[in-house]
Amino acid sequence: MRVSGLGAVGAAVVGTFILAGCATGPSSPPGIGIVPANIIASVSDPGRPAADMARDVAQRPSQLLAFAGVRAGDKVVDLIPAGGYFTRLFSMAVGAKGKVYAYVPDELTKLANPPRDPAVALITRDPAYANSVLYLRNLSDFVLPERVDLIFIGHHYHDMKSAILGPVDLRRFSAAAFAALKPGGAYVVVDFAAAPGATAEAAAGLGRVDPAMVKAEASAAGFVFMGETNLLSDPTDSHTALAQEGVAGKSDQFAYRFLRPR
């Protein structure tokens, strides 16, 4: 596994964290305002493609992973990883003693015609990211081979509410995600914000979801809301246009962090 700069990079300033409580556990965030060296090194990984690094301007991964509380040695689920932007980052951040499950819903692989490997398979086959594994399974039957420290859903929660994935029974999925986490583990959702009160179907058509809906569904499963960050927010967004992933200043995003209580 390629690891560059660990222990040699200092802390960096992070975006504003609005914490609802004080968490302790394997995936608890470090001190507010601090980006640990393992995360900074993951963003500096020379194996990252140019397209991913260009996306960093809008995504601010150092601060986002610090908010998620990613630590060396963690076991992380990158749910619906698409091209693997976050998969590479997680792989380097958790290090050789950690593990990353690139969880691709089998509902999506069945749509491919002709059948082909998920894009993220290129990463999970790369020796530089040997701690990452491709995990194919229906979201309607979400389960993992072991308990993990973090389940991360980056810009695809709204997809679970769309016809392309079923839609997924979010009550069942949230309960399964809760069961898959270690006590003290974190459940982090980053997505594009829909207008308050927007229906799931209408919002999903715009690539968005109502943040209040995410909070309600996670809370119903037993998760405790631990905080949010305004790192990716855009108060000028009307919330009525198609979300534009990776374009700075175009779409309002929210990032919520939940905890499975001990």
DSSP 241: S
Structure confidence at residue 167 (pLDDT):
85
Q: Could you give the domains of the chain?
A: 17-259 (3.40.50.150)
Burial of 28 (0-12, 13-18, 19+ CB in 10 A): middle
Structure confidence at residue 211 (pLDDT):
96
User: What amino acid is encoded at 161 in this protein?
Assistant: K
Structure confidence at residue 196 (pLDDT):
94
Contacting residues for 35 by C-beta, under 8 A, at least 6 apart: 11, 12, 13, 14, 62, 63, 65, 66
CB count within 10 Å of CB 44 equals: 14
> Could you tell me the pTM of the whole model?
0.86
Task: Measure Cα distances from 212 to 20, 218, 222, 232, 261 in Å.
Answer: 15, 10, 16, 17, 21
Successive 10-residue mean pLDDT values, the chain, 262 residues: 28 36 40 79 95 92 96 97 96 97 86 73 96 93 96 94 87 96 97 93 92 96 96 89 69 95 91
